[in-house]
Copies of this chain bind each other. A is one copy, B any other.
Amino acid sequence: MNTLPQELIRFCRNTPLANAPETALLVLKLSLLDWFAVAIAGTNEPASRIIRQMLTAESGTPEASVFGQTTRLPARAAALANGTTSHALDYDDTHFLHIGHPSVALFPAALAMAERQGSSGAEFLMAALTGYESSCRIGHWFGRSHYEAGFHMTATAGTFGATLAASRLSGLNVVQTGHALGLASTRASGLKAQFGTMGKPFNGGMAAANGIEAVQLAALGFTSTPAALPSFGQAHAAEMPATETVLADLGTHYVLEQVQHKFHACCHGLHAMLEALSLLVQEETFDVNHLKQLKIQTNPRWLKVCNKPDPKTGLEAKFSYRQTAAMLLTGIDTGALSSFSDALCQAPNVTALRQKITVTGNTDLSDTAAKVTLVSTNGQRCIAFDLEAPLPLMQRQKRVIRKAETLLGADHAQAIWREITDLTQANNLNKLLQTVAKIRA
């Protein structure tokens, strides 16, 4: 077997649309819809506005579209803006093998480069698919030690996925792609210490811009060393298991299918509980008026993260088991950003429900799992849910589309989804981009 960079370069350059499994392509398209939805919804966040302000002042050749403005910017700048904007709400997808958010680095780079190059829809999809898959595999290669050392995988592994996708769209040959990966290796960075600040979404933008920059330089003849990616790993506390392990079944099995979409606009630690609870609420026998008590059990690590018992603000609500459970019990959409309001924290029916809810730690539960016990006048029902259990694909599609509808309105969400499903036939991305441009956040 060749080295890891060599194998990924081959995979990303050579995989034709005909070889892409339908399920992998569908998941990629769902992630693309999800990414558009959270990016458009995040367009007016402070981090998004400021990064646009800097880049618009710089100005430059209009090569690629930017969320939130009609003026296009150089591809490198557009990638920086759109990567930041799409991660501003922290509502984008998560991949637990990659240990991060692949979409916010990958799509801004692939989209900007495809628009700049006038790529076809199929080329864009295949660059995104292979780049996304590579990003996940490189995340696996870096491993948990890299993440624990303080690095934000979204930014570091994300840079390499962005580079590979942009390399294909830019038509780089094998040697040039090697140089692009080498340059990406000296440019990749990003710390978890930024969490809770605008630096976190900035990390996504950096990764996307790094990919464009490395590819543009390599296309013009800039050189680097093919050994730079392993050197990056060595310097950055990566685990680097054998290439054979990390790249097993590359090209036939797509680990990207394991990506998780967020369906609740709040801390990830609350999601398993909300999924479990919504299964109970859907049962015919459920009636909130008969509720006597709701017992929530979760992995103890989350008690320090998202267990604000009586939140006062919308932001605090995003870190509260009791508030989000009460919201779900009263039929409020936890997938809508607007549901997380100060007012709802004070609503009498919600605060009354909160008093019936208890939260306790249970070390038997993994940190992706939760257990809820609903005690009502009709008796008691208990259910556990683990986020790691894969959602059936049709159900996932339905929920991603519903999330996009919640964030953008049904017409806009459906219009984008139509353009995405038509991409394999599209000569370029113009119709998709025009559809997106019509939407105001």
Give the B-binding residues of A (Cβ under 8 A). Answer: 46-47, 50-51, 53-54, 57-61, 74, 76-77, 149-152, 155, 182-183, 185-194, 196-199, 202-203, 206, 213, 216-217, 220-225, 227-228, 231-232, 234-237
Contacts and interface: CB of A to CB of B under 8 A. Distances in A.
Given A185-B191, A186-B206, A188-B189, 12 more contacts: A50-B220, A54-B217, A58-B61, A59-B59, A59-B61, A149-B235, A186-B202, A191-B228, A191-B235, A193-B227, A197-B223, A197-B224
Nearest to A63: B58
A contact face: mostly helix, strand, loop, or mixed: helix
Contacts of A223: 197-199
How many identical subunits does the complex contain?
A: 2
A51 B46 CA distance: 32
Contacts of A61: 57-60
Given A188-B189, A194-B228, A216 B54 contact: yes
A77 B77 CA distance: 11
A74 B185 CA distance: 25
A46 B186 contact: no
Contacts of A192: 231
A186 B185 contact: no
A193 B228 contact: yes
Contacts of A77: 58
Given A54-B220, A60-B60, A199-B228, A189 B191 contact: no
A202 to B, nearest CB: 7
Given A59-B61, A193-B227, A50 B221 contact: yes
Residue of A47, A222, A234 most packed against chain B (CB within 10 A): A222
8 contacts: A50-B220, A50-B222, A149-B235, A186-B202, A187-B189, A191-B232, A193-B225, A236-B236
A247 B233 CA distance: 32
A50 B215 CA distance: 12
Contacts of A220: 50, 53-54
Given A149-B235, A225-B197, A58 B74 contact: yes
A163 to B, nearest CB: 14
Contacts of A221: 46, 50
